[in-house]
Amino acid sequence: MQLNVEHITLADIRGQLTDTLVSVSTVFVMISMLASFSRMPVLGFLPVMYLHAFIGLLFLSVFFAKNHLSHSARGTFLCSMFFIGGVAGIHNFGLSAGGTIFLYACGVVSSMVLNLRAAISFNIGGAMVFVSYAIALAYFDFEFAVDVGPYGTSLSSWVVYIISYVFVNSIVLYLTTKLFKYLTSMIELQQSNIQEKEVELSYSQTILNTVLNNLPYGILWKDKKLNYAGANKQFLDEMKVNDVSDIIGQTDGSFFSKDEAERLLKLEQQLLSSENKKLSYEEKVNTDDGDARYRDVMHLKMHSDEGEFVGILVSYHDVTEAKLLQQKTEDAMLLAEEGNKAKSQFLANISHEIRTPMNGVYGLIDLCLNTELSAEQKGHLEKASASIKVLTSIINDILDLSKIEANQLELEHIPFSFKQLLSDTQVLFEKQASDKGLYLETDYFGQEDVRVLGDPTRISQILFNLTSNAIKFTSSGKVNITIKSLAYNGLVTTKIYVQDSGTGIAKKNLTKIFDAFTQAELATTRESGGSGLGLSIVKRLVEQMEGLITVKSSVGVGTKFCITLRHKLENIEQRVDTFTRTRVDLKGKRILVVDDNLINIEIAGAMLSQNQVEVSSAYNGVEALEYLEDHKVDLVLLDIAMPIMDGCECMKRIRANDALKNLPVIALTANVMASDIALYEQLGFNDCVPKPYERAQLLEAVAKHIN
């Protein structure tokens, strides 16, 4: 009999003890019977030997039939035989015989394999046997069948045996009772713990099954031999199986085609032979309706807490919707990218088409201003020139915003001085402020000679936009520009404040003033004009410089902008004065102007001729190459958008010609998008002058590159 430790009871323990005692006792009875029969030559055949033989046969019968008897029946038989054997032994052999041992055994065994009442009964019965024989010896001259010595017949000896028997059996009975009480409490505690664990396990199993069966995944697990060991409801439903027991022990071949099963087996064998913990892939599945579905599949090795490999977990889930969404997203991004390209191309075309005639107007006005004019004529032309500058500024803002949105705006890292930028800003806007009756105040706080590495052009653009807005929206009072610089540990932190006493901005509009094409109020646009791009560009430039811009404003009081920037300090040893312009005498220099627009050729030629430059012209790239084959020039001003052969193709051929590969060539064009400038640099242009341009801008570029 093997005990079930999870559901053990006292009856189980007593049954196990009874089986053991029956086996041991049967062996003992057989040996005792043989020992008794061995005395026959000395004692002769005594009547007790019949009893020995009878008991021996009974023990053998019970031993072979023990599996068909209850433990209480076997225990009662065992104790009864011990009792009978003990009485027979005492009756024949007295105290010195083995009968005493049998009675002791009866007392011990009855307390262990029977209940307490039976144990007490057998123990009292044993004591009464001793008492009965003691009385028989003392008062009835009883004689034993075998000659017994004086010790075995004295009353004192029997009294000692009676006391010893009662004492020993009482102790055994007490200890056995305590032992079984302890065992009972331990068993009850164990069963209680087992029940709690079973409840917890059942609860955990319920949660696990609920989770597994409600996940949007098909889940299957296999044993070491890659046989199915379990699955969740989604997998069973897909395989059209009602119960998980129907798949246990099965393989992929039971549910998939031969080719598919072989493919899966090969994949899992590769996983097992590799050091990878899992294998993931996407597969296409055709449904019964003929629709194509996509799903992600994962094969994961499973290990016990000791690290032993126990099987493979397979999971899969449908990703068709996600894949379709991803495709839609990619298509949308492609459309957006194409839209951006179209927008950029449109802006480039518009820029070219606007800048080209503007260059003509601007250049002709500039040329006229250098002739003899009446005061009225000069005033009209100066106003026209200012209008052209405003229009150019708007176009530049639009292009800058486009560059920023396309991440094509690259910042320079050259030395400059904030104090110099402040001074230039004051010079630029002083007359404009004075014409409106405003006082333009500038303050600089910091070391006088501090120069930092950054993009002075873009910072000047920030100052230009903020100052222009401040003057535009202020009708009386003053505009203040303050710059504070603090150098510490190789870095310079600069705060730029632009404050006015103008109309101010309502609190509800502060959140949208930095939006492109937006102004705080519609009336503002009507009264003061503007494209609504200035502040948007300022904010994006500040962000690209990793700076911070804030604004405070009160209606009727004014507005204050604050910009915080951080730059690296210039290395004084490598300082170069970027504001010193190289002056080169252009007298006698020969320059070829290539442009398909006659007015632009005339303007460039006039500006250069006033500086005693010999100017030649060509109307497209073919004419330019033909001219350069026969004439030597010092520099070429090359337009880009031209018929027959454009400037880019012409430039390629110039650089491919060994005689012309070092000739300075400047792009004189209205195509000035960031991608265009990058292309010009790649083709080998030495510089680029955007249309419309000022005389000083053109002459400076020419002077920088001419030999």
For residue 53, give both structure tokens. Answer: 């033989």
Which residues does residue 594 pair with via DSSP β-bridges, in sequence order? 618, 638
Categorise residue 283: left if φ over 0, alpha if ψ from -120 to 50, beta otherwise. Answer: beta
Q: Which of 75, 103, 79 is nearest to 89 (CA)?
A: 103
Residue pair 543/470 in contact (Cβ under 8 Å)? The answer is no
193 Cβ contact partners less than 8 Å away, ≥ 6 residues apart:
none
Q: Which CATH superfamily is domain 410-574 in?
A: Histidine kinase-like ATPase, C-terminal domain (3.30.565.10)
Q: Are the beta carbons of 405 and 673 closer than 8 angstroms?
A: no
Cα–Cα dist 350/356, whole Å: 10
- The model's pLDDT over 16-36, given as tens digits with 9 standing for 90+, comes to 777 777 788 788 778 877 877
| pLDDT for residue 498 | 93
94: phi then psi, degrees, rounded to nearest 5: 75, -155
CA gap 156, 161 in Å, rounded = 9
CATH 3.30.450.20 domain range(s) in the chain: 216-318
Structure tokens at 593: 């102007």
- Which residue's structure tokens are 């002791």? 104
In 209-365, DSSP assigns E strands to: 218-222, 228-231, 278-286, 292-303, 309-318
Residue 224 token pair: 């070491």
Alpha-carbon distances of 208 from 54, 195, 320, 428, 623, rounded to whole Å: 64, 19, 27, 76, 83
Q: How many angstroms separate the CA atoms of 654 and 90, rounded? A: 139
Query: Phi and psi (nearest 5°) for 493?
Result: -100, 125
For residue 245, CA distances in Å to 74, 239, 248, 312, 464 come to 43, 13, 5, 18, 80
What pLDDT, on the 0 to 100 scale, is given for residue 235? Answer: 85
Residue 430 CB burial class (10 angstroms; 0-12, 13-18, ≥19): middle
Domain with CATH 3.40.50.2300 in the chain: 590-705
C-alpha distances out from residue 366 to 362, 374, 383, 611, 671, Å: 6, 15, 12, 14, 22
DSSP track, 507-558: GGGTTTTTSTT--S-HHHHHHH---S-HHHHHHHHHHHTT-EEEEEEETTTE
In the prediction, which pLDDT does 525 show?
41
Closest CA to 149 of 97, 224, 201: 97
Minimal CA–CA distance to 612: which of 591, 582, 633? Answer: 591
Q: CA 320, CA 294: separation in Å to the nearest integer?
A: 5
Q: What is the pLDDT of residues 431-488, one digit of tens each?
A: 888 888 899 999 999 887 788 888 887 888 888 888 988 898 888 889 999 999 988 8
The DSSP result for 138-183, as a single string, is HHS----SS---HHHH-HHHHHHHHHHHHHHHHHHHHHHHHHHHHH
Q: Spell out the CATH class of 216-318.
A: alpha beta
Q: How far apart are CA 89 and CA 101, in angstroms?
A: 9
CB atoms within 10 A of CB 464: 17
**How far does CA 50 lie from the centroid of its chain?**
90
pLDDT at 399: 65
- What's residue 693's pLDDT? 79
Burial (CB count within 10 angstroms: exposed 0-12, middle 13-18, buried 19+), residue 437? exposed
Phi, psi of 339 (to 5 degrees): -65, -40
The secondary structure of residue 692, as a DSSP letter, is: S
Domain boundaries for CATH 3.30.565.10 within the chain: 410-574
Q: Using omega within 30 degrees of 0 as the cis cutoff, is the peptide bond preceding 692 cis?
A: yes
Percent of the chain's residues with pLDDT above 90: 11
Q: Fill in the DSSP letter of residue 570.
A: P
Q: Does domain 590-705 have CATH number 2.60.40.10?
A: no
Cβ partners under 8 Å of residue 556, min gap 6: 503, 504
What pLDDT is attached to residue 213?
80
Task: Give CB contacts under 8 A, 24+ apart, made by 431-440.
Answer: 432/471, 433/471, 433/479, 436/471, 436/474, 436/475, 437/476, 438/471, 438/474, 438/476, 438/477, 438/478, 438/479, 439/477, 439/478, 439/479, 440/471, 440/478, 440/479, 440/481
| pLDDT digits 0-9 by tens, 487-527 | 888 889 999 999 998 888 887 777 777 765 455 443 444 34
Match domain 325-400 to its CATH number in 1.10.260.30, 1.10.1760.20, 3.40.50.720, 1.10.287.130: 1.10.287.130
Q: Which two tokens stand for residue 241?
A: 């199986």
The stretches in the chain having pLDDT less than 70 are 1-8, 10, 43, 48, 96-97, 147, 288, 290, 340, 343-353, 355, 362, 386-387, 389-409, 515-534, 571-584, 673-674, 707
Q: What is the pLDDT of residue 68?
A: 80
What pLDDT, on a 0 to 100 scale, did the predictor assign at position 108? 81
- pTM of the full structure: 0.42
- The pLDDT score that the predictor gives to residue 676 is 80
Q: Are 265 and 252 in contact (CB under 8 A)?
A: yes
Task: Give all strands of the β-sheet with 309-318 in edge-to-edge order.
Answer: 228-231, 218-222, 309-318, 292-303, 278-286
What distance in Å separates the CA atoms of residue 466 and residue 397, rounded to the nearest whole number? 13
Cβ count near 654 (within 10 Å): 24
